[in-house]
Structure 1
Amino acid sequence: MGGAVLAAALVAAVPALAQGGKIWRCGNEYTNNPGADPAARGCREVLGGNLTIVEGTRPAPPPGAAAAAGSSAGAGSGAANGAARTPAERVTPDQQRQRDLEARRILEQELRRAQERLEQARAEWAQAQAARPAGTRGEAASGSARADELRARVERAEADVAALRRELARLPAADAR
């Protein structure tokens, strides 16, 4: 049985040797020609196994870019391959300010909702704690499970509020102009 495994490994290795040997990974690129100094490019040799690379499809350009690319394609510019940006794609400072204000408004609204959920969860948890009589053993398991569930709900709500506050802190100030 061991001989069959060794033979299969040798048969799999022969095509790799016939291709000229080494395959290198340079970031997200795989190549058999890493250049003069592979280490300088951050390339590492891929050891063992077969390597199959399937190229993905390129995304279609936006509808407005096709007309711009058609008009400038004869000029030999980079617009045909999507490298150049047209001025229509840029966002003006006023547009960016409006987008930031809208994002802030949405986050503040979500923060208010999250704070309401947190208050409700805390109230339910406190009510469950107060309603649980001390020293009951018959329902200790089900009461504990309910208390754990309510405590987890409070913790999730607190985490939501904290995350929304962090997101709001990352946005530019509402009065910055």
Structure 2
Amino acid sequence: MKPTLLILCLTAGTTLGASAQERIYRCGNEYTNTVTEAQAKTCKLVSGGNVTVVQGQKPAAAAPGVKVASAPPASSAPRIDSADQKAKDSDARLILETELKKAEARQIELNKEYNNGEPEKLGPETRNHQKYLDRVSELKAALSRNESDIAGIRRELGRLPGSSSKQ
């Protein structure tokens, strides 16, 4: 937004002295009351209702027309030494490897239950074939979800530093 003028309220009946009496131009998301600037940017005149504006404050170090981006101080981010980072990486690797083993074990169980698309019928499914078909489709979806989980875990393991991607 323009640092010189900000719109705080667009209300129908509120005015703040003379600043609400000036012509206000809208340039996208910025507002200005400078005619030459409005003409240069092809801004539109704001009409209808009262416009309340508040005078903004200019940054002390900024030159007119120069945008200054505020960056966080360099010392605000704590530095992590390499030993701590290696420990964190090894912890992350251990967690991912554990999750991979769980997902692979789950995949084996699902494959066994799925039985190449012909799982054994359970009690109520002998009388209601639709229940059986629903369970088969749920098993198939669970298999594909678990396969994508395994692939994602392997990708994450491959992204870790010093990875010896075992697949």
* Shorter-chain TM-score range: 0.5 to 0.7
Q: 1:83 aligns with which of 55, 70, 73?
A: 73
Change in Cα spacing, 1:145 to 1:86, as seen in structure 2 (3 Å) is: closer
Q: Report the Cα offset of residue 130 of structure 1.
A: 4.8
Change in Cα spacing, 1:93 to 1:137, as seen in structure 2 (3 Å) is: closer
Find the counterpart in structure 2 of residue 32 from structure 1: 31
Change in Cα spacing, 1:174 to 1:162, as seen in structure 2 (3 Å) is: closer
Alignment map for 1:58-69 (pairs within 5 Å) = none
Write the letter of the residue equivalent to 2:109: Q
The structure that is strand-richer by fraction is 2
Q: Report the Cα offset of residue 137 of structure 1.
A: 9.6
Alignment map for 1:7-26 (pairs within 5 Å) = 20-24=24-28
Larger relative contact order (CA 8 Å, sep ≥ 6): 2
1:169 matched to 2:158? The reply is yes
**What is the SS of the residue equivalent to 1:94?**
helix
Change in Cα spacing, 1:18 to 1:109, as seen in structure 2 (3 Å) is: farther
Q: 1:100 aligns with which of 76, 83, 89?
A: 89
Q: Report the Cα offset of residue 84 of structure 1.
A: 3.8
Q: In structure 2, how many angstroms separate the alpha carbons of the residues matched to 1:119 and 1:17?
A: 75
Contact 2:119 2:136 in 1 (8 A): no
Q: In structure 2, how many angstroms separate the alpha carbons of the residues matched to 1:137 and 1:17?
A: 81
Q: Report the Cα offset of residue 131 of structure 1.
A: 2.7
Q: 1:153 aligns with which of 142, 148, 153?
A: 142
The structure that is helix-richer by fraction is 1
Contact 1:104 1:171 in 2 (8 A): yes
Contact 1:121 1:154 in 2 (8 A): yes
Q: Alignment RMSD, CA only? A: 4.0
Structure 2: gaps of 5 or more residues = 1-10, 38-42, 47-70
Aligned length: 113
Structure 1: gaps of 5 or more residues = 1-10, 25-29, 38-44, 49-80
Find the counterpart in structure 1 of residue 114 from structure 2: 125
Contact 1:100 1:171 in 2 (8 A): yes
Q: In structure 2, how many angstroms separate the alpha carbons of the residues matched to 1:153 and 1:130?
A: 14
Q: Percent identity?
A: 28
